Amino acid sequence: MVIFSKEYPARRAVALWILCLTFTATFSLILPAAFGTEIDSYSSFRHDRFASGGYGGGAVLNANAFFSEYDFSGVGRAGSSPITMITPIHGLAAAHFAPSGQVTFVNRSGNLVTRTVVATDPILDSSVNSTTDLLFVTLDSELGATDEVATYSLTYPTGRSPMSGDLNAIDHAELLVYGKQHAVGRNELDGVEYSALGNKNFSYLAMGASVGVAGIFDYAPSTGFSPDEAKLVSGDSGHPTFLTNNNDLILFGLHLAIGTFDGVQFNFDTFAPFYWPELSARIDDYNNAQGTSYALALTDVTVSVPEPDSLPLFCLGGLLVVLGGYRRRFL
């Protein structure tokens, strides 16, 4: 079911919470570097999007990949900075790894399609009046049907009012995690309990000058997907994570940061669907100025699963605010 309704309550009784760690941890932005997503039991035959070539030309799509039925053509690159398309002319990117200049897409036939970034506008979290790590990207011209480049809806539920309610519907959802080297792995929203507004797998996250709602998934191949379990590493910033629905890719988030606790890596994506109202308002402004009619869709994704195990890990608010231990470093 695709949902276009904009009827969200205007307020949430939520203060700006600061992510805090109940135990010693490290926490880092995943900034550009030479490497990308690490995948348990990685195999180019199974995990690479391209059998050869790529954004530089000569792309041959990998028909043997476990995800070959899914269309990743809407994930473009401006240099090393990724852009994920949400309308034929608008995309999302990470503010801390902002794209500029020419964007290249590999379309459904393996051909290169190029456009140019003409604007990157920060997305504010209207509930706390603060900047997020999401950038709203506008291209110089739309990607038409003949370009064979996908656009993606955002997942519903969005967690927007109440934050602690409907997100439970996607607990245990399988994620497809896209990385810098065009490899795709899997992970899961696996029910780890985060005491962030009473939610599982979601939290307000403060990183640098930004805050935002983050989706969280750990790296634990022994209890997750082996092979295929994916974790984020330096260079993955801004690349997307998707849920799937009836063979379609549904955008979940953009890679933001990593943290460790007791030897386990936790991965953080800016949870883009939470900002559907703000993003839709940007698109409406563009439509009003340009006389166009673009729209941003939500696709209802619900997962039927057993009750998950719990592992208290992260806390928010006044219980423990340890800014000195809130370690940020560039990788």
Q: What is the pLDDT of residues 312-327, one digit of tens each?
A: 334 332 222 221 222 3
- pLDDT band at residue 306, thresholds of 50, 70 and 90? very low
Across residues 99-121, what is the average pLDDT?
Answer: 97
Q: 284 lies in a domain? A: yes
Percent pLDDT > 70 in the chain is 76
Residues 6+ apart with CB under 8 A from 89: 138, 139, 141, 142, 143, 286, 292, 294
CATH at residue 152: 2.40.10.120
pLDDT digits (tens, 9 = 90+) for 47-59: 999 999 999 999 9
Structural domain including 44 reads 17-298
Please check whether residue 225 lies inside any domain of the structure.
yes
Which residue bears the tokens 């709203």? 136
Residue 273 lies in a domain: yes
Q: Each residue of 113-139: pLDDT tens digit? A: 999 999 999 999 887 788 999 999 999
Count CA atoms closer than 13 A to 252's CA, side-chain side: 32
DSSP 8-state class, residue 46: H
Q: Worst-scoring range by mean pLDDT, 184-193, 202-211, 279-288, 316-325?
A: 316-325
Does 56 map to a domain?
Answer: yes
Per-residue tokens: 83? 């852009």
Residue 328 placed within a domain = no
Q: Does residue 10 sit within a domain?
A: no
The better pLDDT of the pair 90, 319 is held by 90
Mean pLDDT for 189-195 is 64
pLDDT band at 106 (very low <50, low <70, confident <90, very high): very high
Please, what's the b/e burial string for 237-273 (b: 16 or more CB within 10 A of its CB; e: otherwise)? bbbbbbbbbeebbbbbbbbbbbbbbeeebbbbbbbbb
pLDDT level of residue 198 (50, 70, 90 thresholds): low
Q: Is residue 327 part of a domain?
A: no
Is residue 146 domain-resident?
A: yes
User: Contact, 184 vs 176, CB < 8 A?
Assistant: yes
φ, ψ of residue 104 to 5 degrees: the values are: -115, 135
Considering its fold, how many domains does the chain have in total?
1
Query: What is the token pair recorded at 111?
Result: 């051909």
